[in-house]
Amino acid sequence: MNRPFVLARALAFLLLLAHCARALTVVPPERIDGLDLALPDPGECALRILAPTLLEIVRINSKAPDPDPVDSWDFVDPEGNLNLPDVSQFQVSVDGHPDAVRGAGFKRRPRYAPLAVRDLRIDNRIYLALARPIADGQAVTVTTADAALWPANITFTATADPLRYSPAVHVNEEGYMPSRPKEAMVGYYLGSLGELNIRFVGFTTFTLVDAASGAVVFHGRLMQRPDSGFTYLPRPYQGVYEADFSAFDTPGLYRLVIPGLGASLPFPITDGVAMDFARAYALGIYHQRCGAPNALPYTRFTHAACHMAAASVPLPQADFENAWKTIARDTASLDPTQTAPRLEDPASQLYPYVNQGPIDVSGGHHDAGDYSKYTIDSAQFIHYLVFAADALPGAGALDNLGIPESGDGRSDLLEEAKWEADFLCKMQDADGGFYFLVYPRDRPYENDVLPEFGDSQIVWPKNTSATAAAVAALAQAASSPLFKRQFPDAAALYLWKARLGWSFLTHAIAAHGKDGAYQKLTQYGDLFMHNDELAWAACEMFLATGDPAFERKLIEWYDPADPATRRWTWWRLFESYGCACRDYAFAVRTGRVKASQLDPAYLAKCETEIEAAGKDALAASDNSAYGTSFSAQAKRSRSAGWYFSVERAFDMTVAYQLRADPDYLDAIFSNMNYEGGSNPLNLSYITGIGSKRQRQIVSQYAQNDHRLLPPSGIPIGNIETGFMWTATYGKEIGKLSYPPDSAKSDPYPFYDRWADTFNTGTEFTIVTQARSLATLAWLAAQSPLKDQPWKAVPARIDVPRGYVQVNKPITLTCTAPGLDLTAAKIVWEIQGLDLIEGATCTFTPPAPGSYRVEAEAQWTDGRRVFAAATVSALATTGSASQRDSNGVVSGR
C-alpha cells in the first residue's frame, strides 16, 4: 500500500472557534486509521464511504487535563448523554445531487496516550446514514454550516472506489497458508448507530482479487457468524460475517473485496505464515534475555549485557529495610488452609537463607515488561518450551528461528529453555530450596532505566511453591530425550539439582506438615497454595527417575477430575496442575517412560482433562464472532485482562495431539488470525508486525530507549476491559470513551476496545510467549519451511555520496549480502523523528547534527535483518559520514 499523503488540504487561516485548539486538516482516512505506521495528529480529519448508504467522518482531537472538556466535538454531556447536531446540519451530495441524511451516530475513544509525556489524541467518528446508496465511482461531498462541526471552508470529498480500503474487512495481514483454513471476517461497530448490518445493505458475497492487478481470482458467499456469550443487550457482534476462502490455495498477494464496502489490507497466501509468527515470537523472547546483550545482527533493539552484578541476600535486615518492607507487603494470606506463620522479616522465614554472600543469578529472561525474574514463571517458561520440543511433532527439530543459536544443529526451543534453566539452577540455595525471585533492591520496578543500567538486585526468600516449580522444570528438562542428547552435562546437573530440591520439599513437609510448609510471598504460585507445584514436581521426578514412589505422591496430590484443581473450578490445566497433567499424559509419547510404567486409570483422567480443555477453547472460539477463544465466563463477568489469542489456543494444540480433530486446527488458526489483524481494529497484537503498530506497550525497555517503536515480537493483550489508571492521565482517558465501557447496556463492545497506551492489563509475560511459541513452532514445523536454513546476517544502510545538509532530503537504502530485500517489508526509524515503510528511506534533516537511522526488514516467512547507521547533517557544506553499528566512521 502506498504511503498516504500526509496533507490533502491545509487551512488558509487559523482557528475560527475559541475552543478549537488546532487547525483542521483533511487527510486520507487510512492515515487516521494508523496504517503505514502513522500516528494521527490532533486536528486531522477524514471522510470515508463505509458502505453505499453510510459515511464515516473521523476527527482526531485532544483534551487539556480535567476539568477542561475535549477541545472540539464535545457531544457527550457530563451525564453521558449524546447530543449530536441535528442531521439537517450535514449536507451530503453525490455526483452533485443532494442525498438526504436519515440518521447520525457517534463513537469516541482515546487513540493514543503515551505514558511519559501527556499527548492525548482522541478518535471521534460521526456516522451518517444516507437515504440513497452511492454507486461505485460516484463522488461524495459533505459540508456543514455548523461551525461547531467544522469550518465552512472545509469540504469533505471521497470517491466510491470499489477497491478502497475498508476497515470493516478483517484479514490476517501476515497471510494464510495454502493448505490451511483461510477465513476473514466482516463487521463494523458504528457507535450509537449500532452495528453495520451487512445483510440489510445487501452484501452476501465476497471476492478475492490479486493485490497488484485487481483481477478476481475467487468468489465466495459470506456466512453469518454471530457472537454468543455476552449477556448484556443489545447483544454485540451479531452482524459479523465470515468469508471462507480455504478452497483457494495459489500463493500470491491478495485483497478480499466485499462489493460496496471495499477491500481488505493486502495479505499473502504463502507457506511462510506459521514460521513468520514463530520467528516473531522467538525474537520477542530473545528481547527478554537477561545477562547478555541484545545485539546486531539479531535485533536493532540493542542493549549491553544487563544485571551482571551478583545479587545480594538481604541480610542483615538493617541494611535492607526497604527490601523487607516490600517482601512482607503481600505475604498475608486469606486462605484458611495456609497455617504457616506469615513471612514478615528474616526471623519469620521457615527456610532461612543458607548462603549469605552475593549470588550470581545472571541469565534467564526478564519476566515481562519489568526486568525482574520470577521463579514460578521461569519454571513455566521451561515447561512449555520443553513440552513443545518433546511432544509437538517437529517443533524440537527447528533450528532456524533466527536466534543467536539458530543454525548450530541443536533445537532452538531447547536452547531458549536452557537459557532459562541455567539461570534457574543459580536460584537454588545450599539447602536445595529455590529463591522466590530476583528483584531490585530498593523498589519494585526499574522503570526509569535501560536494563544495562538496572538496579542492584536481591534474591527474595525461598518457599515451597517456587522450589517445587523449579524442581519440576529442571527434572522435565533433564528427562527430555532430546535435551539429554544435545546437552548431556546440563541434563545431569539439572537432575541433581532437582533431587536436591525434592529433598528440601520432603524435609519441609516432614517438619511443618503439608499445609504448614507453604509461606506465601506474593500471588505468584499462591493459587492452590503449593499443592499444584508439588504435584507437578512429583510428576516430573517420576518421569525423570521412573521411581513409582513419586507417582504415588502425584496421584495422592492431584486428581485431574476434581473441579477444585481448576481455577475458579472451570479453568482447566491452570498453571502447575496443567503441567503435571500434560506431562503425565504425554510421558510415553515423549519417550520418558514405557506405557507399562503408567497407571492406566490415572492416564485416562489426564487425557480426559486435556481433551476437555481443548474443547473449552474450541467452544469459546466457535462462540466468538471473530474466532478468538475468549471464554464464556469472561464474557459473563465482562472482564478481560492478560488475554492473548494464540496463547489461549495452546490447549487445543495439545488436545489435537491426542485426537486430530480438524476443528481444533481451524480454531487455532482463527486465534492466530485474530492476533495477526483479523479483528475489528485490523490491528496486529504482536509488535513488529502489520501496517498498524502500537507504540506504547508495558515494557521498561521500550519506555526508556530512544525508539518510537517497542521491540519487535512482543505480544500485546488482545482484549481489554478498559483503560487503567496511570500517573499521567489518572482516570481521565477511561471517562472519554463513548459509549462508556462501563455502561450497563450497550457498552463499547469488547473486541473494539483498544488504545495505544500503557495498559498493564495487556502486559505479556515469558509464559505467554512460551505458550504461544509452542503452538506456532508446531505449525511451522508442519510447513515446508521447517528446514529453511536461517540465521541472522548483518545488513547495512547505505548513505548516498556527497554532503548531507539541513533541509535537503536524502535517500537511504538498505542491503544485506546474498539476500533480496525487494521482497521484504522495510521499516525505517529515524530517531525521534519518523517511521517510514518502504524500500528506501527519504528524510530531510531539520537541524544540524547526528541522526541515528535504523532499518528492520521482514520477509513474509518472518526472517528479519536489521541495520543501523548514523547520518551527520551539516548546516552549510561539509562531508557526510556514515558510522556503522560497530562504531567505525567511514567518510563518504
Instruction: Quickly count: other Cβ atoms within 10 Å of residue 760's Cβ.
Output: 14
User: Does 412 interact with Ca ion (rule: CB under 5 A)?
Assistant: yes
Identify which of residues 307 and 786 has a Cβ nearer to Zn ion in the complex.
307
Task: Rule CB under 5 A: say whether 500 interacts with Zn ion.
Answer: no
414 binds Zn ion, rule: CB under 5 A: no
DSSP one-letter string for 788-856: --------EEEPPSS--BTTS-EEEEEE-TT--GGGSEEEEEETTTEEEESSSEEE--SSSEEEEEEEE
Q: Using an 8 Å Cβ cutoff, are 759 and 766 in contact?
A: no
- Which letter does DSSP use for residue 64 in this model? P
**Please, which residue, 609 or 675, has the CB nearer to Ca ion?**
609
CB of 815 vs Ca ion, minimal distance in Å:
26
**Nearer residue to Zn ion within complex by CB, 624 or 699:** 699
Residues near 694 by beta carbon (within 8 Å), at least 6 away in sequence:
683, 687, 710, 716, 756
DSSP string covering 80-140? S-B-PPPGGGEEEEETTEEE-EEEEEEEEEEEEE-SSS---EEEEEEEEEESSPPPTT-EE
CB 133 within 8 A of CB 223: no
Of these partners, Zn ion, Ca ion, none, which one is at the site of residue 525 (CB under 5 to 8 Å by kind)? Ca ion
CB of 701 to Zn ion, least distance (A): 10
Yes or no: say if 264 and 777 are a contact pair by the CB < 8 Å rule. no
Instruction: Identify which of residues 35 and 505 has a Cβ nearer to Ca ion in the complex.
Output: 505
Residues 109-168 interacting with Ca ion (rule: CB under 5 A) = none
The answer to the question of residue 528 lying near Ca ion (CB under 5 A) is: yes
- Indicate whether 540 belongs to the interface with Ca ion (CB under 5 A): no
When asked if residue 59 is in the footprint of Zn ion (CB under 5 A), the reply is: no
The residues in 424-483 that bind Ca ion, with binding defined as CB under 5 A, are 465
- Residue 306 interaction partner, one of Ca ion, Zn ion, none, beta carbon < 5-8 Å per kind: Zn ion
Shortest Cβ distance from residue 363 to Zn ion (Å)?
9
- Give the number of other CB atoms < 10 A from CB of residue 153: 12
Residue 290: name its binding partner from Ca ion, Zn ion, none (Cβ under 5 to 8 Å by kind).
Zn ion
Taking contact as CB under 5 A, which single stretch among the options 36-44, 300-308, 350-358, 783-791 is the one that binds Zn ion? 300-308
Compare residues 307 and 530 and give the one whose CB is closer to Zn ion: 307
Tell me the window of 83-91, 308-316, 448-456, 828-836 that interacts with Zn ion (CB under 5 A): 448-456
Give the nearest distance from C-beta 291 to Zn ion in angstroms.
Answer: 6
Minimum CB distance to Ca ion smaller for 537 or for 873: 537
Restricting to residues 383-402, which ones interact with Ca ion according to CB under 5 A?
Answer: 399
Cβ closest to Zn ion, residue 288 vs residue 782: 288
Could you say which of 525, 710, 717, 747 contacts Ca ion (CB under 5 A)? 525
Residue 408 contact, options Zn ion, Ca ion, none, Cβ 5-8 Å cut-off depending on partner type: Ca ion
Q: Which three cell numbers stand for residue 501?
A: 530440591
Judged by CB under 5 A, does residue 307 bind Zn ion? yes
Smallest distance from the beta carbon of 379 to Ca ion, in angstroms?
A: 11
Phi, psi torsion values for 789, nearest 5 degrees: -65, 135
Pairing of strands 25-26, 44-51: parallel
> Least Å distance between CB 534 and Zn ion?
30
**Member of 410, 418, 582, 592 binding Ca ion (CB under 5 A):** 410
Closest alpha carbon to 498 in 414, 593, 434: 434
Per CB under 5 A, the list member of 173, 271, 420, 532 interacting with Ca ion is 532
- Looking at the Cβ atoms of 290 and 424, the one nearer to Zn ion is 290
Look at residues 391, 400, 365 and name the one whose alpha carbon lies nearest to residue 379.
Answer: 365
For 294, which DSSP code? Answer: B
CB 804 within 8 A of CB 873: yes
Rounded least distance, CB 371 to Zn ion, Å: 5
C-alpha cell recorded at residue 234: 443489545
CB–CB of 365/417 below 8 Å?
no
Look at residue 528 and give the partner it binds from Zn ion, Ca ion, none, a contact being a CB closer than 5 to 8 Å depending on partner kind: Ca ion
- Rounded alpha-carbon distances, angstroms, from residue 867 to 278, 283, 295, 694, 820: 22, 16, 11, 21, 15
Smallest gap, in angstroms, from Cβ of residue 327 to Zn ion?
A: 20
For residue 721, the minimal CB distance to Ca ion (Å) is: 25
Kindly tell me which of 85 and 394 has the beta carbon lying closer to Ca ion: 394
Q: What are phi and psi of 659, to 5 degrees?
A: -150, 115
Q: How far is the CB of 447 from Zn ion (least distance, A)?
A: 14
Terminal C-alpha separation, the chain? 33
Q: Tell me which DSSP letter residue 874 carries.
A: B
Helices (H), 558-661: 575-585, 600-622, 632-637, 645-648, 650-658
Residues 6+ apart with CB under 8 A from 545: none
Q: Does 290 bind Zn ion (CB under 5 A)?
A: yes
Shorter beta-carbon distance to Zn ion: residue 403 or 780: 403
Residue 306 is a binding residue for Zn ion (CB under 5 A)? yes
- Grid coordinates given for 451: 536494563
Residue 768 interacts with, from Zn ion, Ca ion, none (CB under 5-8 Å by kind): none
For residue 322, the minimal CB distance to Zn ion (Å) is 20
Contact window for Ca ion (CB under 5 A) among 432-440, 524-532, 795-803, 840-848: 524-532
Minimum distance of Ca ion from residue 579's CB (angstroms): 11
Q: Does 451 contact Zn ion by CB under 5 A?
A: yes
| Binding flag, residue 405, Ca ion (CB under 5 A) | yes
Residue 417 one-letter amino acid: A
Count residues contacting Zn ion (CB under 5 A)? 4
**Alpha-carbon distance values, 720 to 293, 367, 461, 571, 723 (Å):** 33, 21, 34, 19, 8
* Bridge partners, 49 (sequence order): 55
- Which of 465/480 has CB closer to Ca ion? 465
Does 416 interact with Ca ion (rule: CB under 5 A)?
Answer: no
Site for Zn ion in 770-799 (CB under 5 A): none
SS3 669: helix
Residue range at the interface with Zn ion (CB under 5 A); choices 282-290, 480-488, 500-508, 732-740: 282-290
Residue where the block lists cell 513409582: 548
Closer residue to Ca ion in complex, CB, 67/789: 789
Instruction: By CB under 5 A, name the binding residues for Zn ion.
Output: 290, 306-307, 451
Instruction: By CB under 5 A, name the binding residues for Ca ion.
Output: 399, 405, 408, 410, 412, 465, 525, 527-528, 532
